[in-house]
């Protein structure tokens, strides 16, 4: 097992040369030109000396993302990248969440009303923004203070700097609602140490800010009480140099290590159990581990897996495994297929049933279809990965992806 000190991440600057080419920057744009009143209220903008901040502002909904918010984010980020007066960009959330993911309830009702095209456009815009974030030419700082779930990680973790706090927790609970970790999650999770990504995706377990630092999801840690000072300092910076931004983050950061109760101390067990090729084999390994070790963690992990959609479990495991060998753009194109297949009801209605059980009726008793792993055929899983008539197209010729 790697030591946690060895797992502490380096900044993402080395993954791509930030200014390998320069664009002809435009004059100051009209940011609100295409935005409605709702999106302007839900994505606030703060102008600073040499930077801009985008603030997710739906605190009553834990800053969950809807179509208008994602569209505004993409327009803002496009314009900021082209503006030579802006050196770097920051993103944060209002209230007790950074971003709890997509507005799943709105998506659920939209689909039930027959507006599949609207849902398709949401995913297309979201994944296009994730790709923009992952290939952004300017330094980017995401302050993940509070709840960071689902595609909340997709709009932030592909960026250069990710700041977490003592109030941060991260999770991908999509299997519990019959969906899959998307918005680049198969790229991000598949690059975690060992088989931690498979564990997080299949169980929906949470990581805190310290654990995110240790496994490489975050680059800097700061106490929530010090964020105001950190933001004030960043707001005064007049730079477009990643090294200057990084030094400022480090100045207000803390060196931290996971405590004894952290799941990261179980990385050997996770690797033994979650390295298997099928969900059935993973469950069998966990059952054996539970008998041999008398460890309650094994029982809890098994319970989480058994509560999830069986079809989602199979789809998710394949997605993470394929993500290990794909660039960000390839992961997003595949996840786009999976998402549209998952909301189509052609093979299963598990997404609708999962949302109903957990967020609408709140009986927490979903009736999955198929109800068990043994009833899921290979063709069912293959369907989620099959090409669409209209695929997601990303500007890879202009914005080179990275591994």
The CATH number of residue 334's host domain is: 3.90.226.10
Residue 32 lies in a domain: no
Residue 21 lies in a domain: no
Residue 272 lies in a domain: yes
Between CA 158 and CA 343 the distance in angstroms is 25
pLDDT recorded at residue 7:
47
pLDDT recorded at residue 352:
96
Residue 97 lies in a domain: yes
Instruction: Output the 3-class SS for the chain.
Output: CCCHHHHCCCCHHHHCCCCCCCCCCECCCCCCCCCCHHHHHHEEEEECCCEEEEEECCHHHCCCECHHHHHHHHHHHHHHHHECCCCEEEEEECCCEEECCECHHHHHHHHHCCCHHHHHHHHHHHHHHHHHHHCCCCCEEEEECCEEECHHHHCCCCCCEEEECCCCEEECCHHHHCCCCCCCHHHHHCCCCCCHHHHHHHHCCCEEHHHHHHHCCCCEECCHHHHHHHHHHHHHCCCCCHHHHHHHHHHCCCCCCCCCCCHHHHHHHHHHHHCCCCHHHHHHHHHHHHHHHCCHHHHHHHHHHHHCCHHHHHHHHHHHHHHCCCCHHHHHHHHHHHHHHHCCCCCCCHHHHHHHHHHHCCCCCCCCCCCCHHHCCHHHHHHHHCCCCCCCCCCCCCCCCCC
Q: How many domains does the chain have?
A: 1
How much is the pTM? 0.88
Residue 216 lies in a domain: yes
Residue 111 lies in a domain: yes
Between CA 316 and CA 329 the distance in angstroms is 18
Using DSSP bridges, classify how beta strands 207-208 and 147-149 pair: parallel, antiparallel or unpaired: unpaired
* Predicted confidence pLDDT, tens digits, the chain (403 residues): 444 434 444 333 333 332 232 232 233 344 444 555 566 899 999 998 899 999 999 999 999 999 999 999 999 999 999 999 999 999 999 999 999 999 999 999 999 999 999 999 999 999 999 999 999 999 999 999 999 999 999 999 999 999 999 999 999 999 999 999 999 999 999 999 999 999 999 999 999 999 999 999 999 999 999 999 999 999 999 999 999 999 999 998 888 888 999 999 999 999 999 999 999 999 999 999 999 888 899 999 999 999 999 999 999 999 999 999 999 999 999 999 999 999 999 999 999 999 999 999 999 999 999 999 999 999 999 999 999 999 999 999 888 765 4
pLDDT recorded at residue 25:
29
Task: Write phi, then psi, for 247 (nearest 5 degrees).
Answer: -65, -35
Tell me which residue of 303, 323, 307 sits closest to 315, measured CA to CA.
323
Residue 29 lies in a domain: no
pLDDT recorded at residue 12:
35
Residue 15 lies in a domain: no
pLDDT recorded at residue 35:
57
pLDDT recorded at residue 401:
67
Provide the residue range defining the domain that includes 193. Answer: 39-385
């Amino acid at each position: 097992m790697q030591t946690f000190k060895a797992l502490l991440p380096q900044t993402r600057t080395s993954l791509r040369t930030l200014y390998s080419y320069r664009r002809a920057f435009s004059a100051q744009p009209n940011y609100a030109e295409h935005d409605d009143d709702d999106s302007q209220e839900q994505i606030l903008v703060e102008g600073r000396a040499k930077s801009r901040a985008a603030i997710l502002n739906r605190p009553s909904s834990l800053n969950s993302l809807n179509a208008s918010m994602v569209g505004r984010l993409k327009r803002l980020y496009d314009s900021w990248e082209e503006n030579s007066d802006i050196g770097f960009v920051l993103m944060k959330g209002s209230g007790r969440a950074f971003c709890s993911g997509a507005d799943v309830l709105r998506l659920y009702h939209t689909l039930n009303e027959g507006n599949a095209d609207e849902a398709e456009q949401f995913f297309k815009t979201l994944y296009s923004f994730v790709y923009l974030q992952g290939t952004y030419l300017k330094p980017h700082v995401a302050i993940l203070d509070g709840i960071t779930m689902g595609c909340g990680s997709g709009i932030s973790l592909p960026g250069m700097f990710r700041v977490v706090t003592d109030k941060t927790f991260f999770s991908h609970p999509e299997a519990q609602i019959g969906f899959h970790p998307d918005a680049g999650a198969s790229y991000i999770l598949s690059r975690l140490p060992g088989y931690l990504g498979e564990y997080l995706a299949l169980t929906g377990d949470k990581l805190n800010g310290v654990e995110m630092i240790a496994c490489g999801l975050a680059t800097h840690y700061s106490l929530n009480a010090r964020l105001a000072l950190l933001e004030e300092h960043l707001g005064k910076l007049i730079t477009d140099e990643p090294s200057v931004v990084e030094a400022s983050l480090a100045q207000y950061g803390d060196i931290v290590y996971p405590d004894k109760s952290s799941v990261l101390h179980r990385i050997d067990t996770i690797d033994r159990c979650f390295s298997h090729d099928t969900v059935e084999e993973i469950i069998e390994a966990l059952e054996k581990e539970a008998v041999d070790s008398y460890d309650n963690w094994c029982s809890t992990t098994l319970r989480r897996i058994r509560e999830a959609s069986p079809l989602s479990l199979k789809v998710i495991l394949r997605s993470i495994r394929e993500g290990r060998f794909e660039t960000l753009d390839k992961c997003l194109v595949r996840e786009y297929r999976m998402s549209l297949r998952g909301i189509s009801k052609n093979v299963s209605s598990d997404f609708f049933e999962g949302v109903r059980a957990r967020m609408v009726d709140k009986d927490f008793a979903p009736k999955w279809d198929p109800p068990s792993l043994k009833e899921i055929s290979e063709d069912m899983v293959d369907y989620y990965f099959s090409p669409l008539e209209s695929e997601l197209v990303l500007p890879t010729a202009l914005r080179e992806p990275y591994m």
